[in-house]
Homo-oligomer: A and B are copies of this chain.
Amino acid sequence: MLSERRLQVLRAIVQDYVGTEEPVGSKALTERHSLGVSPATVRNDMAALEDEGYIAQPHTSAGRIPTDKGYRLFVDKLAGVKPMTGPERRAIQNFLDGAVDLDDVVARTVRLLAQLTRQVAVVQYPSLTRSTVRHVELLSLAPARLMLVLITDTGRVEQRMVDCPAPFGETSLADLRARLNSRVAGRRFADVPHLVEDLPDAFETEDRGTVTTVLSTLLETLVEENEERLMIGGTANLTRFGHDFPLTIRPVLEALEEQVVLLKLLGEAGDSGMTVRIGHENAYEGLNSTSVVSVGYGSGGEAVAKLGVVGPTRMDYPGTMGAVRAVARYVGQILAES
């Protein structure tokens, strides 16, 4: 176990390195932080921290920089979440309050997060499966072509085309629409499958094919893979990444373009509370030099989706975590109001 002072030294190293972006030496440390000991002592502590793998030297005659393990300890034990100031909180609220629909809420959230943290922001749309159904609508576009529209309590709207095996009359359509809504409106999407499974039985043989097709389209829409959407922003902040540019930034941009990767990334994060994944803790290789801070948000007590930021491992964790948490909280409020 590391002594209290050594932890303080580690904390100081992380803070200084995050600030200056340069390896920090023993002398600079004692000057900038009142540790009450001399540089020589700090050197001993640093040697110990290095042995334990918390810090490393880029080359022999340089200062130390934290390793992923060092950041991990810092986040877990040495630093809290830095709360937003009053004015910041009001600014967040004002900005989000101006949103007119769900797309706008998500778009504004992305911008806001990117600005607050000066990093790349990722915001997932509220999950369908975790939302409740507000309304299901069926429109007839052509004799054998329908459009299915799903509306959730979080304001999300999905539409799908349905090609029917046989023409479907207006009365049958109205019937199906009414039956569908009476069964699923107000229910959770996750429960929809077994709520509708016997629905075809209520229809004439000639319509059953169409009803089945509609239902299977409805269920397809709920399949995880398809239904997850997200928005990213603040990619220009990647330019603040570091010195060895192209090599670092390229895989990150590639990862950000692969929605699948991002969704997996957010998905892996814990369901409740804030998750911080540092450097190599990220399964995806391209993100090995980045950290991901994510948290769930939702209209009620439960999370309906996640949001977060992607930045260099050398980031201001307390500040970033504070911003992410605050934004998630306000987005949840906005969704609950709408």
Q: Chain B: which residue is nearest A249 at the CB level? A: B239
Which residues does chain B contribute within 8 Å of A245, judged by CB atoms?
245-246
Which residues does chain B contribute within 8 Å of A236, judged by CB atoms?
250, 253-254, 257
A225 contacts chain B at the CB level, 8 A cutoff:
no
Counting contact residues on chain A (CB < 8 A from B), the size range is: 20 to 34
Determine how close the nearest CB of chain B comes to the CB of A143; give it in whole angstroms. 13
A209-247 with Cβ < 8 A to chain B = 233-236, 238-239, 245-246
Which residues does chain B contribute within 8 Å of A149, judged by CB atoms?
137, 139, 149, 159
Cα(A161)–Cα(B250), bound, Å: 40
Contact partner of A151 (CB less than 8 A), chosen from B101, B141, B151, B235, is B141
Determine how close the nearest CB of chain B comes to the CB of A107; give it in whole angstroms. 9
A325 contacts chain B at the CB level, 8 A cutoff:
no
Cα(A135)–Cα(B138), bound, Å: 12
Contact between B253 and A233 (Cβ–Cβ < 8 Å)? Answer: no
Determine how close the nearest CB of chain B comes to the CB of A178; give it in whole angstroms. 12
A199 contacts chain B at the CB level, 8 A cutoff:
no
Contact between B235 and A246 (Cβ–Cβ < 8 Å)? Answer: no
Q: Chain B: which residue is nearest A286 at the CB level? A: B236
Which residues does chain B contribute within 8 Å of A134, judged by CB atoms?
141
Contact between B253 and A160 (Cβ–Cβ < 8 Å)? Answer: no
Contact between B234 and A239 (Cβ–Cβ < 8 Å)? Answer: no
> Beta-carbon contacts of A31-67 to B below 8 Å, as 1s and 0s?
0000000000000000000000000000000000000
Which 9 A-B pairs have CB atoms at the shortest separation, nearest pair first? Answer: A236-B253, A239-B250, A236-B254, A239-B246, A245-B245, A157-B159, A137-B139, A235-B253, A236-B250
Q: Chain B: which residue is nearest A107 at the CB level? A: B259
Cα(A267)–Cα(B210), bound, Å: 43
- Most chain B CB within 10 A, of A101, A234, A235, is at A235
A147 contacts chain B at the CB level, 8 A cutoff:
yes
Which residues does chain B contribute within 8 Å of A254, judged by CB atoms?
236
Which residues does chain B contribute within 8 Å of A147, judged by CB atoms?
135, 151, 157
Cα(A160)–Cα(B246), bound, Å: 42
